[in-house]
Structure 1
Amino acid sequence: MSRSPLLERYAALDSAAVSDALDQLGMPPGTGGIRPLWGPAAVVGFAVTVGLEPRTGGPAGAHIATTAIETADDDSVIVVDNRGRMDVSCWGGILSLGATVRGVRGVVADGVCRDVAEARELAFPVFSRGAAPVTARGRLQQGSTGEPVRIAGLTVAQGDVVVADETGLAVVPRERAEEVARIATAIAARERLIADEVRAGALLSQAMHDARLAGEPTPEKETAR
């Protein structure tokens, strides 16, 4: 169980509700293209960021993402910016194992990953643009950790709230996280009510009135008052 009441609130939401709340506040909404690599999965946590870049030579340092994993905890999601590269993996099985040992909730990578079966066996959620077997050794190096990165067009800063599921990815700036959670929770509750009415036989066109979905009073409700 999370030590963070804030993350518990987000765990009850999906990326669509969070995206709608961000949209309502005039902030960048969620994005697609980042999907779970194995099975149905969802992950919510505070971002621990890693920025990668092409290998430029010189002495080899620590393997990419290892320092980030070592500073993470059981409320963390590792966020890896590999600039959308599809030709070389930026996350693999031993990283998944190390992250699991630390209690990390999952990884979100703007790039491709490998060792999918190992992640599945560990039940470790991996979200990325796909899979590729090509090693990062000699091809990638870590450019930053703990600094803002870009994932599928979204800026992610250390400590931001990350919500990833089968629909897509949403990122909430930490300083706005309470506000976004409140609005997203209201949106989810409203949509559950609408779904219940549809199941009970309500006309879809009335139940899904755009104003109602947006949380505004419908003309029928205004007349009733």
Structure 2
Amino acid sequence: MTADATLLAQFAALDTATVSDSLESCGLPPGQGGLRPMWGRPEVVGFAATVELEPLLGDHAGAHIITGAVAEAGADDVLVIANGGRTDVSSWGGILSVGAATRSIRGVITDGACRDVAQARELGFPVFARAQVPVTARGRLRQKSSGAPVPLGEVTVVPGDVVMADEGGVVVVPRARAAEVLRAAQRLSAREAEIEAEVRAGIPLPQAMRDARLAGEES
């Protein structure tokens, strides 16, 4: 297993809530809500492949949005699409899901709306978005950039960052600090597992959930 694959597998063993807490403990922005799975309860972890969209103000949109990014992304990648949180027009659709699934891309997170969710569900392709809407992007959106840093809510996503999404939300881990955040998250996960085991065994909740213990200040 490569170092990249090992890193993603280790993050995949965690959840977004734990990683969000660990990001904050490392002085980084926490996770965010509002980007929901559009079907089922998928969990996605991968390296960010980025696209930014913008309103089409003229008559020519150029190449169909996102197709180039899909063609270039690979099996360790998650597509991250910046569209300013717009929910009145789709920024992801069924044929894009087919193309992404064919390339074994891990999923898509779009800061906007999507459509053709049934098609994504049939493919088993994870789609996280702010809403569903049937309105096409044709004549309404164009691609501003691909492979550049993009905004996702309050966070800037850089290509290659580790991104995670599950039913709890989305987190973005800067690639340069991924090992540091991972170690913090693994320590926190172990502490929380111990606390849960004690509660299930009958230890009073206030005793098990001591602030100092949760903060990692007790050995």
TM-score range, shorter chain: over 0.9
Give, in angstroms, the shift of residue 58 of structure 1: 4.3
Structure 1 gaps of 5+ residues are none
Structural mapping, 1:1-16, within 5 Å: 4-16=5-17
TM-score (norm 2): 0.96
Query: 2:188 — aligned with what?
Result: 187
Asked if residue 112 in structure 1 is aligned to residue 113 in structure 2, the reply is yes
Distance 1:112 1:60 in 2: 19
Residues 16-40 of structure 1: CA deviation (Å, up to 9, x unaligned): 1111111001110111111101011
Q: Is the 8 A contact 2:32 2:171 kept in 1?
A: yes
Query: 2:51 — aligned with what?
Result: 50
Give, in angstroms, the shift of residue 59 of structure 1: 3.5
Query: 2:141 — aligned with what?
Result: 140
Q: Is the 8 A contact 1:53 1:141 kept in 2?
A: yes
- Partner SS for 2:217: coil
Q: Which runs of 4+ in 1 moved over 4 A?
A: none
- Partner SS for 2:69: helix
- Partner SS for 2:34: coil
Distance 1:54 1:184 in 2: 38
Q: Is the 8 A contact 1:54 1:141 kept in 2?
A: yes
Percent identical among aligned pairs is 60
Q: Is the 8 A contact 1:48 1:146 kept in 2?
A: yes
Worse overlay, 187-196 or 45-54: 187-196
Aligned residues: 218
Residues 73-102 of structure 1: CA deviation (Å, up to 9, x unaligned): 000000000000010000000000000000
Q: 1:88 corresponds to which letter in structure 2?
A: V
- Partner SS for 2:139: coil
Structural mapping, 1:163-174, within 5 Å: 163-174=164-175
Q: Is the 8 A contact 2:107 2:125 kept in 1?
A: yes
- Partner SS for 1:32: coil
Give, in angstroms, the shift of residue 56 of structure 1: 2.4
Q: Is the 8 A contact 1:14 1:165 kept in 2?
A: yes
Give, in angstroms, the shift of residue 60 of structure 1: 3.8
Distance 2:10 2:66 in 1: 28
For the pair shown, the structure with the greater C-alpha radius of gyration is 1
Structure 2 gaps of 5+ residues are none
Give, in angstroms, the shift of residue 41 of structure 1: 1.2
Q: Is the 8 A contact 1:34 1:152 kept in 2?
A: no
Asked if residue 80 in structure 1 is aligned to residue 81 in structure 2, the reply is yes
Give, in angstroms, the shift of residue 153 of structure 1: 1.4
Query: 2:33 — aligned with what?
Result: 32
Q: Is the 8 A contact 1:65 1:142 kept in 2?
A: yes
Give, in angstroms, the shift of residue 211 of structure 1: 1.4
Q: Is the 8 A contact 2:61 2:141 kept in 1?
A: no
Q: 1:122 corresponds to which letter in structure 2?
A: L
Give, in angstroms, the shift of residue 62 of structure 1: 1.7
Q: Is the 8 A contact 1:81 1:109 kept in 2?
A: yes
Distance 1:155 1:14 in 2: 21
Query: 1:126 — aligned with what?
Result: 127
C-alpha RMSD of matched pairs (Å): 1.3
Q: Is the 8 A contact 1:106 1:125 kept in 2?
A: yes
